[in-house]
């Protein structure tokens, strides 16, 4: 019996966990270990709204974005329309996006029922907006989804190590892995010396408002980030901010009030909502785009990078995990063929 390829996935957010699970599912010759210094509920992914929408991701070709986001769409919709939906909080959700300038997003053909709003609809819902659209997308409870992924990973004999890694070479010398998958998000800046990785600070509030059934977003031309209201399975997420280069992970009261006031302008009944949580996370943005490629360490061992998803980690995660599988398959297959 041939020895299995020892793969280590670094990072336990939605990108790392999904990569680990897909490697297990599709590459049975691999023995997978998940290594991270933070696990759910303490990852950046845990604070995500969990909605499928391309947001704050740049530098990636439309073909790749469509492929990765499309694979993720199919995966999430299949969960939302299955008995698994209750366990991971997956649901189809419809709503409205408003803008101060005309929009023609590439993803309009991927969501369901995308259409422009007429002036009467805009005046009824958000009169100050100049343009608006309606569509249906898919949403998950990210905490529940991460828990499900972790359970699936462990059931497939995945190993978990809690540790902080300062250098990728350290993994090879200490644990003797054959392949590393780098899903460290904002941590990739320090780990790999990639100064193209910068934080885009995101602050949100979560409230109890079960009467909110449709999402609503509003993007003004002079704002760094749209205001949004996303009704999830348990809470409604109110946001947000998009402060580039800001490493502050503390709650900012000015941002909190700005988010609250902006969301009240869209849906005044939120005034009656019970505030459950304020949260801050750092989106791992990369101006040159998601880094998803295979490289070599000085030791000659293989590393597959998968980071820099900005605010679209949930939207791209399953498709990017599929690309990681292809990268590892190509490397391990070529290695076997040389024997």
CA atoms within 13 A on the CB side of 249: 9
228 assigned ligand-binding residue: yes
59 assigned ligand-binding residue: no
6 assigned ligand-binding residue: no
313 assigned ligand-binding residue: yes
Find all residues with CB under 8 Å of 93, minimum gap 6, and list them.
Answer: 51, 136, 137, 138, 139, 214, 215, 230, 231
329 assigned ligand-binding residue: no
Q: Give the burial string for 207-235 (b: 16+ CB within 10 Å, else e).
A: bebeebeebbbbbbeeeebbbbbbbbbeb
Determine the longest span between alpha carbons in the chain, in angstroms: 69
315 assigned ligand-binding residue: yes
96 assigned ligand-binding residue: no
249 assigned ligand-binding residue: no
151 assigned ligand-binding residue: no
302 assigned ligand-binding residue: no
Q: Do 223 and 103 meet the contact criterion of CB atoms below 8 Å apart? A: no
Q: Do 55 and 312 meet the contact criterion of CB atoms below 8 Å apart? A: yes
DSSP H or E stretch at residue 202? strand 197-208
Binding-site annotation: residue ranges for FAD: 37-38, 44-45, 165, 184, 310-315
Binding-site annotation: residue ranges for D-serine: 228, 283
Binding-site annotation: residue ranges: 37-38, 44-45, 165, 184, 228, 283, 310-315
Binding-site annotation: residue ranges for D-dopa: 311
């Amino acid at each position: 019996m041939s020895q299995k390829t020892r793969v280590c996935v670094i990072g336990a957010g939605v990108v790392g966990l999904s990569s680990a699970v897909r490697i297990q599912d599709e590459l049975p010759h691999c023995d997978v270990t998940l290594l991270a210094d933070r696990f759910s509920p303490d990852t950046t992914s845990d604070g995500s709204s969990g909605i499928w929408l391309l947001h704050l991701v740049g530098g990636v070709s439309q073909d790749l974005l469509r492929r990765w986001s499309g694979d993720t769409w199919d995966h999430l919709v299949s969960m939302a329309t299955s008995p698994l939906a209750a366990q991971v909080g997956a649901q189809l959700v419809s709503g409205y996006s408003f803008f101060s300038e005309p929009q023609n997003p590439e993803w309009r053909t991927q969501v369901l029922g995308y259409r422009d709003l007429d002036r009467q609809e805009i005046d009824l819902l958000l009169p100050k907006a100049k343009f608006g659209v309606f569509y249906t997308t898919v949403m998950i409870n990210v905490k529940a989804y991460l828990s499900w992924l972790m359970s699936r990973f462990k059931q497939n004999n995945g190993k978990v190590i809690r540790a902080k890694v300062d250098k990728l070479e350290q993994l090879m010398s200490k644990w003797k892995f054959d392949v590393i998958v780098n899903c460290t998000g904002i941590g990739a800046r320090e780990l790999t010396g990639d100064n193209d990785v910068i934080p885009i600070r995101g602050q949100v509030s979560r409230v109890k408002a079960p009467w909110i059934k449709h999402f609503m977003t509003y993007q003004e031309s002079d704002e760094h980030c749209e205001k949004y209201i996303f009704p999830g399975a348990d809470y409604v997420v109110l946001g947000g901010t998009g402060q580039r280069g800001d490493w502050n992970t503390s709650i900012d009261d000015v941002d909190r009030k700005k988010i609250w006031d902006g969301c009240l302008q869209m849906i005044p009944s939120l005034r009656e909502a019970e505030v459950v949580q304020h949260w801050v996370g750092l989106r791992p943005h990369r101006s040159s785009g998601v880094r998803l490629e295979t490289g070599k360490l000085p030791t000659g061992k293989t590393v597959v990078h998968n980071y820099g998803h900005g605010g679209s980690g949930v939207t791209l995660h399953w498709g990017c995990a599929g690309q990681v599988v292809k990268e590892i398959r190509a490397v391990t297959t070529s290695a076997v063929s040389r024997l």
